[in-house]
Chain A
Amino acid sequence: MLENFAIAASETFTLLVFFYVTLGVLLGYFVGALPGMNRTTAIAVALPFTFAMSPAMALSFLIGINKGGAAGSAVSAILINVPGEPSSVVTTYDGYPMTLSGRARKALNIALFASVVGDVIATLILIALAQPLARFAVTLGPIELASILIFSITFIAAVSGDSFFKALIAGTLGLLLSAPGIDVETGLPRLTFGIVNLYDGIPLLAVAIGTLALSEILVQIDNGWRGDYTTPQQEPGSEDPDANRMDRNEARRVGKATFSGAIIGTLVGLLPGLGATLASFLSYTWTRQRSADPRAFGKGAPEGVAASEAADNATVPASLIPVFAIGVPGSLSTALLMGAFLMHGLTPGPFLFRENADVVYGIYIGMLMASLGLIIVGMFGQYILRMVIRTRQTVIYPIIVFLCVIGAYMESGTMFGVYLMIGFGFVGYFMKKLDFSFVTFVVGYVLGPMAELTIRQSLIISQRNPAVLLEHPIALIFLVLTAFSIWRFSIAGLRPVEITQPSKADQDRD
């Protein structure tokens, strides 16, 4: 392992890479801090601009955006009581009361500390765990992979939001979208309507940029039209220097909350579909229940901010573990990152370590650089960020629309992608308006082709004989889990956790 790090370091451990990674963190920080825009949007828009970079640099840059977004969302949550991202909803519970009582700087520093610690712990777990898992995953054939994919798809029902059936419809729509293209077995075009540009399927970036980024702009236009245009709020001004000091007892509690938050975030991030919002909520609940004074929570308890932010940031590296090890993305942002891997000629999964070990270790180095970038941006960027969250939307949104068009054009070098992106912008707009789940939609679209391929491979290998499953115990376990998951999340009809606070419709968009 050290040897791999040494080789990768010679290429990745440069100022240029560090510059780009920090730039990614900064971008993510901005986008995270801006209410309405989230880090998945930022990744979708930034992805086409990484084509010219080396694979390790490109992925580190994109992961940097993801990390920065997770940390930056705390800023607006603390200062103006508007979570920059759904995963920071919980941060507002104690962060904003701290601001009201003149402890804004303390809250921001605790959020930054918790973000960095959560991030570093989860990154180290990723580095320790991904390769052994991948070594094990090499022994997984199509039959095992097919059952893991089926399990992942049903598991997403757990985060279906308010309406299970709407989520199901969105997921099916996503699966259908993945159907056009060249049929893998016959080599003939399927559902392409004679359009050559669809032979490789509906392009990822057109779908992602359209439904995630452009649709958000359309929603904002709509809001402006209706007159409920949100002018940026002013933060309460006065700071109390005495209250911003921290005593040893408090530091100990914050440290404990941060550590448990990091572990909870890592565990939740590992599982497909659950995401950062649930992680921050669970971590907050855990810390509150174990606190000596649970009633202080919600009124400005520093450990509440720490618990939420540590878990939020820990999910980012943790959700990459299944991508690196078995090639299965569990969330929107990892689905996009997986697309980025493919665009750079890398196939995530067990063979990634074998064929592109240097790139993987380069990404590890890049991720650790991003942790450092988080500290730098967090410490020096707070004043800029205070201005950013007050920037008028009429300045920011046109720039984003411009980037959307460029990004969609770059994927295939044709206007086809741009038209498609605009079309999906409207699809996304109506999905947002009617509260259809984005996670199930995009994950269905990304997992669809993989599930189809592995299921068809399994049918060929097994010669359509289900008894073969008895020789594949791992596949059997996942299929039993699938049955349980379907029962648990649909038939039993229980929602895992209700996360009710400001923007409920936003909760599944991390």
Chain B
Amino acid sequence: MSTVAELTATLAKNAVAGGAIAAAALVALAGQPAQAQDWPQEDITIVVAYPAGGGTDAAIRAMVDILSEQFGQNVLVRNVGGAGGGVAAAQVMREDPDGYTLLATNSTSITLAPLVEPTAYSLEDFETVAILGEFQNAVFANNDKPFDTLDEAIETVKSENRPLSFASQLAIDRLLMQYIARERGIELLPLPVSGGAGATQAVLAGDVDLSFSGGSWAPLVNAGDAKALFAASHGRLAVMPDLVSMEDLGFEFGVTSHISLHAPAGTPEEVLQAISNAFEPGVKGERAQNVGEARSMDMTFRGLEEAREVIANERATYEAMLESLGEAADD
């Protein structure tokens, strides 16, 4: 929710910065007129798919100053929350593919949601522009639980002849747990919770054996209030390289989610490249990096080509995992 106050503040700031940029642009133009591009000519709107105050929102807002300097235009942030990113995605999909309206979202809302939920859009409706960061997904548990690893947890529930309970909130954690349960031959007991806070509460109160978390686990584990069991991704995590990953545990797949930047399908290639180039210093800037540190997100920039690859891989992984679960259901 971009508020009037904030909007005005941004505009005012940009107006001041605008003068400096104009001067700089003039110098640059005088030096190398050949490289002057006609894009962008208008203000650029970044639609953040979540309400103000979330991780994606904080990261984008930390970049706005650098971005408007890069583009030489005002950069407006608009929060369109709802349906786990679905409302914003459906809205941006319908915008003109001119690069002036961009979508910043959790990549799973584009790669995974259309596969498992009724959505008004599909992956093909978007161009991937850049990856701005990676959420540090892990599975954690209450300190008092009699296990320290996934295998010990599975041992425990098998010996007690009961299902493994977990805090369930999103498609991504349900998929991960179902996949693990199928591979290791255990029963699951999903306890529905609302939001990351609900998952944390269920773990700390001891209501569940374990819970998936997109980053709120890190401060808890660092403070000694809970223990991390394993990273949910295939490879290890940047914030805690010592933590075993799905690959280490012998699984073929792991789940990932990124802060990804998209444009409506059909946006010209050179515009996509220009946007991607402008975001690189934004992500690498001090403020965005600080936000990443505070919120346990790995703010590593990936440009156009690399980002497309990441998203395609993520999609392929989810398709393969769902397929293996589908087969299990058919048996």
Q: Report the minimum CB–CB distance from B145 to chain A (whole Å).
A: 15
- Complex CA gap A138/B203 in Å reads 12
- Find residues 406-420 in chain A having any chain B CB closer than 8 Å to their own CB: 406, 410-414
Q: Is A357 an interface residue (CB 8 A)?
A: no
Given A343-B51, A413-B80, the answer on whether A184 and B192 have CB atoms closer than 8 Å is yes
- Find residues 188-208 in chain B having any chain A CB closer than 8 Å to their own CB: 189-195, 197-198, 200-201, 204-205, 207
Q: Is B270 an interface residue (CB 8 A)?
A: no
Given A187-B174, A200-B81, A412-B82, the answer on whether A456 and B201 have CB atoms closer than 8 Å is no
Q: Is B262 an interface residue (CB 8 A)?
A: no
A453 proximity list for chain B (CB < 8 A): 192-194, 198
Q: Is B282 an interface residue (CB 8 A)?
A: no
**Residue of A at shortest CB range from B225?**
A354
Interface string of A172-215 (1 = CB under 8 A from B): 00000000001011011100001011011000000000000000
Q: Is A355 within 8 A of B200, CB to CB?
A: yes
Q: Is B200 within 8 A of A142, CB to CB?
A: no
B192 proximity list for chain A (CB < 8 A): 184-185, 453, 456-457, 460
Q: Is A344 an interface residue (CB 8 A)?
A: yes
Q: Is B117 within 8 A of A196, CB to CB?
A: no
B193 proximity list for chain A (CB < 8 A): 184, 453, 457
**Residue of B at shortest CB range from A184?**
B192
Given A184-B194, A196-B90, the answer on whether A51 and B3 have CB atoms closer than 8 Å is yes
Q: Is B278 an interface residue (CB 8 A)?
A: no
**Residue of A at shortest CB range from B170?**
A187
Q: Is A347 an interface residue (CB 8 A)?
A: yes
Interface string of B3-28 (1 = CB under 8 A from A): 11110010000000000000000000
A142 proximity list for chain B (CB < 8 A): 207
Q: Is A197 within 8 A of B53, CB to CB?
A: no
Residue of B54, B117, B174 with highest tally of chain A CB at under 10 A: B117
Contact of A52 among B5, B82, B201 (CB under 8 A): B5
**Residue of B at shortest CB range from A463?**
B189
Q: Is B197 within 8 A of A413, CB to CB?
A: no
Given A51-B3, A345-B53, A461-B207, the answer on whether A413 and B171 have CB atoms closer than 8 Å is no
Q: Report the minimum CB–CB distance from A146 to chain B (whole Å).
A: 12
Q: Is A397 an interface residue (CB 8 A)?
A: no
Q: Is A398 an interface residue (CB 8 A)?
A: no
Given A138-B205, A345-B53, A412-B81, the answer on whether A351 and B6 have CB atoms closer than 8 Å is no
Q: Is A49 an interface residue (CB 8 A)?
A: yes
A189 proximity list for chain B (CB < 8 A): 117-118
- Complex CA gap A151/B276 in Å reads 55
Q: Report the minimum CB–CB distance from A128 to chain B (whole Å).
A: 24
Chain B interface, DSSP helix/strand/loop, else mixed: mixed
**Residue of A at shortest CB range from B200?**
A351
B200 proximity list for chain A (CB < 8 A): 351, 355
Q: Is A200 within 8 A of B194, CB to CB?
A: no
- Complex CA gap A52/B3 in Å reads 6
A72 proximity list for chain B (CB < 8 A): none
Q: Is B5 within 8 A of A49, CB to CB?
A: yes
Q: Is A304 an interface residue (CB 8 A)?
A: no
- Complex CA gap A453/B192 in Å reads 7
Q: Is A330 an interface residue (CB 8 A)?
A: no
A294 proximity list for chain B (CB < 8 A): none
Q: Is B79 within 8 A of A413, CB to CB?
A: yes
Interface residue total, chain A, C-beta cutoff 8 A: 41
Given A49-B5, A351-B201, A351-B204, the answer on whether A460 and B189 have CB atoms closer than 8 Å is yes
Contact of A199 among B3, B51, B83 (CB under 8 A): B83
- Complex CA gap A52/B87 in Å reads 22
Q: Report the minimum CB–CB distance from B277 to chain A (whole Å).
A: 28
Interface string of A28-60 (1 = CB under 8 A from B): 000000000000000000001101100000000
Q: Is A410 within 8 A of B87, CB to CB?
A: no
- Complex CA gap A103/B54 in Å reads 54
Q: Is A141 an interface residue (CB 8 A)?
A: yes
Q: Is A84 an interface residue (CB 8 A)?
A: no
A373 proximity list for chain B (CB < 8 A): none
Q: Is B171 within 8 A of A48, CB to CB?
A: no
A48 proximity list for chain B (CB < 8 A): 1, 3
Contact of B1 among A200, A411, A461 (CB under 8 A): A411
Interface string of A331-355 (1 = CB under 8 A from B): 0000000000001110101110011
B201 proximity list for chain A (CB < 8 A): 347, 349-351
Q: Report the minimum CB–CB distance from B217 to chain A (whole Å).
A: 12
- Complex CA gap A266/B272 in Å reads 60
Q: Is B1 within 8 A of A51, CB to CB?
A: yes
A456 proximity list for chain B (CB < 8 A): 192
- Complex CA gap A461/B166 in Å reads 11
- Complex CA gap A347/B207 in Å reads 18
Q: Is B324 an interface residue (CB 8 A)?
A: no
What are 30 A-B residue pairs whose CB atoms fall within 8 Å in the complex?
A: A49-B4, A49-B5, A51-B3, A138-B204, A140-B205, A184-B193, A184-B194, A185-B168, A187-B171, A188-B117, A194-B118, A196-B86, A196-B87, A196-B90, A199-B83, A200-B82, A343-B51, A345-B53, A347-B201, A351-B200, A351-B204, A355-B200, A411-B1, A413-B79, A414-B87, A414-B91, A453-B192, A457-B207, A460-B190, A461-B207
**Interface residues, chain A, CB within 8 Å of chain B?**
48-49, 51-52, 138-142, 182, 184-185, 187-189, 194, 196-197, 199-200, 343-345, 347, 349-351, 354-355, 406, 410-414, 449, 453, 456-457, 460-461
